[in-house]
């Protein structure tokens, strides 16, 4: 009887384990046997929360990992299931299946020698296997790729080479090189990474630009005379402003796409080559994918709370001949001195009110220290000679370059940068959507690099701004010169007036420099 009791417990335990495994929906350690590669390929998967309770079919997102990571990285470091479950419940995204395949070190393509045909495995074995094993919607309009670094390259190149399989791509921090970077990269890493894949091991310069490389370079693909076969591609590129090599290559890819009038979303946010950055890409990246799966126009990025909070500030603008000024609320009960932030641009009355409300809201909540705000017309030439001395003399402004900051909009942004290139006059300079002169910036630094390093810079623009080349050039130059700056490429709002999205972040940047 005791033996029978033990057998019954074992049977019940095995049954419960089997039942539990059948109902798992976040699973790693899975695999397929690839005939093409002649080996096992691992993968992880996330199924929708409702998957086992319904008979519905779902779209699929292939999440691709970076070099040195594996099929568990999106789960462990990306914490992707934690975000997706909540986002589905909140109605931000629809339920989707997420497949995370083992990518090895092959950038999700076939190597030129034909010794490791990963791309063939992915397209001819993995995708059909997933469609046959899980309840997917098995068509190209319901498959998307998303990846970081090496996986960012894969997330872009797979839809470019196989538009019949994928129509949606969200590459993050794309590990890609311009031809110039590719030709001049140090051989110690190049041979093992790029030469191994695209041919030219041991070569330098133009000999590295093989035909096989061109077939796999987004730069060469997007330079083709006819791009109609990619007309259905929905593309969202995201890159951090603290990247090094990828700073130039991702920026130049965006510029190429703009030059070719190829529709795409492009963002540059604060951060570098790390999972904290890629995790923060999930809300907008998956929102973009979800809308594309529904065949809808993208809703747009989630707005920061600070960009949407209305205020009802009591505003009193003092009008002077060459400028207008706003004093902090505590001014009349204090004898202290204050830093000054100069706003340069062609501002309408409502725009000035909006700016002041954001400043006052920041001071009320403690995010900003008390400051004096001055509005200068973009064509005014007397800032250095008369306006600064007048404000410091009459309005208790704290003297010295450490307590003066510039924020310029549009044409006023170019004027602000011109002023900032006077050594040790301003502690920081923020420009919004400005027609910058990159050659003047480079010339100024060549003459007085050490002094100009003391000023911080913040370039804030939109993906569709007509000055995209100049803004991108300025960012790449400052990055390669190791000049401290921030760079943002935001979603275009379609507004013709000065766009205040990002102003709160720019103000905090300014204050951080003043009080560092």
pLDDT at site 12: 41
The answer to whether 308 and 357 are in contact (CB under 8 A) is no
Q: How much is the average pLDDT of 371-386? A: 95
Residues 350 and 264 in one domain: no
184 falls within a domain:
no
Proportion of the chain in helix, strand, coil states, percent, rounded to 5: 45, 20, 40
H/E element holding 147?
A: strand 143-148
pLDDT at site 106: 94
Residue 399: count other Cβ atoms within 10 Å of its Cβ: 14
pLDDT at site 317: 92
> Is the pLDDT score of 441 beyond 50?
yes
Residue 306: count other Cβ atoms within 10 Å of its Cβ: 18
> Is the pLDDT score of 1 beyond 50?
no
> Is the pLDDT score of 2 beyond 60?
no
183 falls within a domain:
no
493 falls within a domain:
yes
Residues 221 and 323 in one domain: no
Percent of the chain having pLDDT more than 70? 93
Which of 60-64, 79-83, 138-142, 236-240 bottoms out in mean pLDDT, i.e. has the lowest? 79-83
Residues 387 and 282 in one domain: no
In angstroms, the CA 166 to CA 163 distance is 5
Burial category of 482 from C-beta neighbours within 10 Å (exposed 0-12, middle 13-18, buried 19 and up): exposed
The answer to whether 467 and 436 are in contact (CB under 8 A) is yes
Residues 276 and 341 in one domain: no
Average pLDDT of the chain, as a whole number: 91
170 falls within a domain:
yes
4 falls within a domain:
no
pLDDT at site 238: 98
pLDDT at site 366: 87
pTM to 2 decimals?
A: 0.91
Summarize pLDDT for 463-512 with one digit per residue, the tens.
999 999 999 999 999 999 999 999 999 998 765 445 678 899 999 999 99
Residues 34 and 106 in one domain: yes
Residues 275 and 401 in one domain: no
Range of the domain at 55: 22-176+217-293
Burial category of 458 from C-beta neighbours within 10 Å (exposed 0-12, middle 13-18, buried 19 and up): buried
Residues 259 and 399 in one domain: no
210 falls within a domain:
no
198 falls within a domain:
no
What dihedral do alpha carbons 488, 494, 498, 504 form, nearest 10°? -40
CATH code of the domain in which 59 resides: 3.40.50.1820
Residues 141 and 232 in one domain: yes
End residue of a domain, out of 293, 328, 355: 293
pLDDT-based confidence at residue 71 (cuts at 50, 70, 90): very high
pLDDT at site 310: 55
In angstroms, the CA 67 to CA 65 distance is 7
End residue of a domain, out of 293, 318, 333: 293
Summarize pLDDT for 158-188 with one digit per residue, the tens.
999 999 999 999 999 999 999 999 999 998 8
Q: Which of 99, 107, 150, 147 is nearest to 125 (CA)?
A: 99
How many structural domains compose the chain? 2
Residues 471 and 333 in one domain: yes
Bigger pLDDT: 303 vs 217: 217
> Is the pLDDT score of 311 beyond 70?
no
Pairing mode, strands 372-376 and 340-344: parallel
Residues 263 and 383 in one domain: no
> Is the pLDDT score of 7 beyond 60?
no
Residues 341 and 424 in one domain: yes
Summarize pLDDT for 250-305 with one digit per residue, the tens.
999 999 999 999 999 999 999 999 999 999 999 999 999 999 999 999 999 998 76
pLDDT at site 498: 52
pLDDT at site 499: 63
End residue of a domain, out of 293, 315, 348: 293
> Is the pLDDT score of 373 beyond 70?
yes
> Is the pLDDT score of 39 beyond 50?
yes
Pairing mode, strands 324-326 and 372-376: antiparallel
Residues 162 and 281 in one domain: yes
397 falls within a domain:
yes
Summarize pLDDT for 102-120 with one digit per residue, the tens.
999 999 999 999 999 999 9
pLDDT at site 516: 82
């Amino acid at each position: 009887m005791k033996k029978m009791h033990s057998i019954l417990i074992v049977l019940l335990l095995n049954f419960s384990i089997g039942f539990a495994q059948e109902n798992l929906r976040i699973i790693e350690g899975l695999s397929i046997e690839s005939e093409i590669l002649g080996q096992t390929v691992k993968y992880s998967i996330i199924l929708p929360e409702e998957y086992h309770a319904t008979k519905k079919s779902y779209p699929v997102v292939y999440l691709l990992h970076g070099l040195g990571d594996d099929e568990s990285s999106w789960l462990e470091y990306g914490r992707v299931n934690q975000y997706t479950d909540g986002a589905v419940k909140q109605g931000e995204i629809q339920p989707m299946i997420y497949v995370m395949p083992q990518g090895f070190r092959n950038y999700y393509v076939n190597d030129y020698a034909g010794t490791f045909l990963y791309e063939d495995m992915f397209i001819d074995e993995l995708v059909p296997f997933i469609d046959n094993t899980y309840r997917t919607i098995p068509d190209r309009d319901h498959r998307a790729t998303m990846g970081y670094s090496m996986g960012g390259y894969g997330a872009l190149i797979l839809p470019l080479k196989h538009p019949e399989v994928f129509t949606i791509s969200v590459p993050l921090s794309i590990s890609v090189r311009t031809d110039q970077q590719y030709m001049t990269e140090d051989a110690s890493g190049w041979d093992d990474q790029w030469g191994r894949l695209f041919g030219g091991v041991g070569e330098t310069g133009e000999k590295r630009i093989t035909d096989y490389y061109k077939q796999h370079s987004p730069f060469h693909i997007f330079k083709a005379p006819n791009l109609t076969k990619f007309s259905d591609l929905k593309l969202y590129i995201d890159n951090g402003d603290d990247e090094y090599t990828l700073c130039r290559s991702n920026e130049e890819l965006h510029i190429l796409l703009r030059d070719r009038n190829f529709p795409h979303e492009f963002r540059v946010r604060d951060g570098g080559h790390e999972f904290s950055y890629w995790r923060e890409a999930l809300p907008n990246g998956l929102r973009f994918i979800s809308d594309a799966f529904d065949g809808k126009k993208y809703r747009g990025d989630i707005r920061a709370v600070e960009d949407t909070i209305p205020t009802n500030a009591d505003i009193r603008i003092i009008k002077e001949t060459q400028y207008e000024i706003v004093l902090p609320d505590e001014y009349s009960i204090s004898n202290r001195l204050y830093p000054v932030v100069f706003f340069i641009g062609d501002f309408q009355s409502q725009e000035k009110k909006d700016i002041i409300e954001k400043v006052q809201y920041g001071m009320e909540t403690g995010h900003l220290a008390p400051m004096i705000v001055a509005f200068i017309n973009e064509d005014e030439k007397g800032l250095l000679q008369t306006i600064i001395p007048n404000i410091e003399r009459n309005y208790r402004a704290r003297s010295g370059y450490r307590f003066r900051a510039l924020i310029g909009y549009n044409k006023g942004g170019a004027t602000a940068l011109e002023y900032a290139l006077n050594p040790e006059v301003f502690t920081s300079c923020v420009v919004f959507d400005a027609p910058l002169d990159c050659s003047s910036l480079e010339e100024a630094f060549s003459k007085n690099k050490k002094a100009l390093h003391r000023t911080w810079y913040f370039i804030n623009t939109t993906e569709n701004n007509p000055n995209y080349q100049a803004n991108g050039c300025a960012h790449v130059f400052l990055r390669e010169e190791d000049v401290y700056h921030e760079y943002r490429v935001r979603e275009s709002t379609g507004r013709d007036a000065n766009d205040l999205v990002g102003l709160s972040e720019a103000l905090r940047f300014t204050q951080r420099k003043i009080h560092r």
